Chain A
Amino acid sequence: MTVRLTALHEAIDKVMPEVDGVIGVKSNPNGIVAPHLFLSSHPDDLAALAIWPKEPVPDTLKLIQRAHPEAKLAVVCRGCEERGLVEMAKHSQVDLSKVTLIGLACSQEEAEFCRCAKPYTVHAQMTVGERIEGVPDPLTDAFAAKSREEKLAFWKDQFEHCIKCYGCRSICPQCFCNVCTLEDEKWVETGRLPMPNPPMYHMIRAMHMTAKCVACRECEETCPADIPMAIHFRLIARDVKEMFNYETGAVIDQKPPQLLVLEEGEYERTGLPH
């Protein structure tokens, strides 16, 4: 057992008596992992506690809280998952007041796999593992250096492979609208492949991820066509940072720009047309 996994076991053992359950990742006998609710009534489950690959646990919390709003829960979360939970709380998707966050620091290898700028938690009440600094995102940087024509050609080529599985929408912890524009025939035609140009599905998702994407890369990981779509979400995030000084998941009581009402005179700061 690795040092980090041992430390995670200790953290869970410590928090378990104070909560109704701990959300983490569990491995099945074949080594395939999935999110799981660990309960003190089923201590044997913890023998199969796993840490990699990461799983979309913010959505698991939402699912469980919808059915059990009073439950006291702990969630094992990485930096990206913590950011996801913070943003979901801002949009009333989860209630973090009864939740203990157990922060799991990512390893160098994991951070590089995710091209992650913040592979650690900042709000979690407990932390496990040694914090490492963020790593560069060579894919996004290489894309940003391209010319406008090259960028268009890059996305045209990438989106041609999309099979419209809706996996990126379905797995995204920040995609929670009750009515999804992507299911509106007016914007995304059912049964049409390859994706028309412009690919409205991906354009709409890019717009909707503005000031919401937490760079968890779950979308890229589930994409059967290997489309590196986090590239455009991350570039939009850089713009949001510049225009609104807003970084997803960073400050718990900072309202996201889409929930702000701008006062007269503030438009100039945003650089938006006014």
Chain B
Amino acid sequence: MEYKNVMTTCPYCGTGCALHLQVLDQQLVGVLPAKNHVVSQGGLCIKGWNAHAFVNHKDRLHTPLVRKNGEFVEATWDEALDLVASKLKAIKNETGPDSVAVLSSAKCTNEENYLLQKFTRAVIGTNNIDHCARL
């Protein structure tokens, strides 16, 4: 028997609300707001209150899916990344880097977002980079 709370930052937007992930017997069971946190001061929006819901959701993907003959089939990361890289390369060569746009995510860390904009600008060669939290 074990119950504890792990404080983290809400993954949904750029505000940076703190929330507690409730862990019961090694399982994530819910969210609690962090009362004396300087940013969220004990409040959360409806997304934050449900921030645990996607973690063990039955619809969550566990492997990449690649469409073959109109149907999604499970693939390895190597296979999926090779496919994406070759397609991006082909688009860049055919119609130029500005025909690619990249949308980053608040669910990633600051560092991952930095890497993605670097990749977009330095590797693909376009300024078409934006972020879902720029609401």
Contact = CB atoms under 8 A, between A and B. Distances in A.
Given A63-B29, A71-B1, A34 B7 contact: yes
Contact of A32 (B4, B18, B25): B18
Interface residues of A, number: 34
A126 interface: no
B15 to A, nearest CB: 10
B49 interface: yes
Contacts of A165: 43-46, 48-49
B1 A167 contact: no
In which size bucket is the chain B interface?
20 to 34
A133 interface: no
Interface stretch (B31-39, B56-64, B102-110, B127-135): B31-39
B71 interface: no
A167 B49 CA distance: 7
Contacts, number: 83
Given A165-B46, A167-B43, A222-B43, A35 B30 contact: no
A55 B3 CA distance: 14
Contacts of B94: none
A39 interface: yes
A31 B24 CA distance: 22
B22 interface: yes
Given A33-B36, A55-B35, A221-B35, A64 B49 contact: no
Nearest to B49: A170
Q: For the complex of A and B, list the 4 residue pairs with the smallest distance between their C-beta atoms, beginning with the closest.
A: A34-B5, A224-B43, A37-B3, A53-B35
Given A34-B7, A222-B43, A39 B32 contact: no
